[in-house]
Structure 1
Amino acid sequence: MTERFFLYDEVEETKTRYVSFMGENQRFDLMIMTTTRYYGKKIVLDIQSNRFAIIGQDDLDEPGYLEEAYNLNDEDGQELREFLNEVI
């Protein structure tokens, strides 16, 4: 067996928020993790779809970013964007 080559192996304390809300068409169950990595962006996991993205304000301003990352239609993407604008 060859020796494992790690690019990094670190442990860090994070802050995690679990939030669930009902939109017009679907329920959102999210885990929002704050870490010192990713230039101040947050890791947002949609627990129901098992999809996640690393999101900052610049990503929220990017048209279609949330819709692509979470496989959402325009209306659901806008609801998620409005919520995340409050917490990111």
Structure 2
Amino acid sequence: MTEERFFLYDDKEESETRFVGFMGKNNRFDLAIVKTNRHFGKKLVLNIQGNRFAIIGHDDLEEEGYLEYAFGISEEDADELRQFLYEII
């Protein structure tokens, strides 16, 4: 006997994905940036090398320590990532 699955949501949506790789001073960034209508204008940023991701908007870029925590990176690396993300978000 199979239990019925209780879905919170099950939606399909068109998305646009940008793949970007760049070298910072101390770290390589390989990112997938996903744009959808789902996250209130924020983008889903996946760090492929670090196997971590975050939903990021301008407000998140300005929150102290957010990128360091979300991606498990140093303050210096987060500053480089933040500069890049300001250009595309």
TM-score, L = length of structure 2: 0.96
Q: Map of 1:1-88 to 2, 5 A cutoff?
A: 1-88=2-89
CA offsets, 1:13-46, max 9 Å, x none? 1000000000000110000000101111000000
Amino acid at match of 2:59: D
1:4 and 1:71 map into 2 onto residues whose CA distance is: 34
CA RMSD, Structure 1 to Structure 2 (Å): 0.6
Identical aligned pairs, as a percentage? 62
Gaps of 5+ in 1: none
How far the C-alpha of 1:54 sits from its partner, in A, is 0.2
Query: What SS does the aligned partner of 2:14 have?
Result: coil
Query: What SS does the aligned partner of 1:49 have?
Result: coil
* Structure 1 outlier segments of 4+, above 3 Å: none
Report the count of equivalent residues.
88
TM-score, L = length of structure 1: 0.98
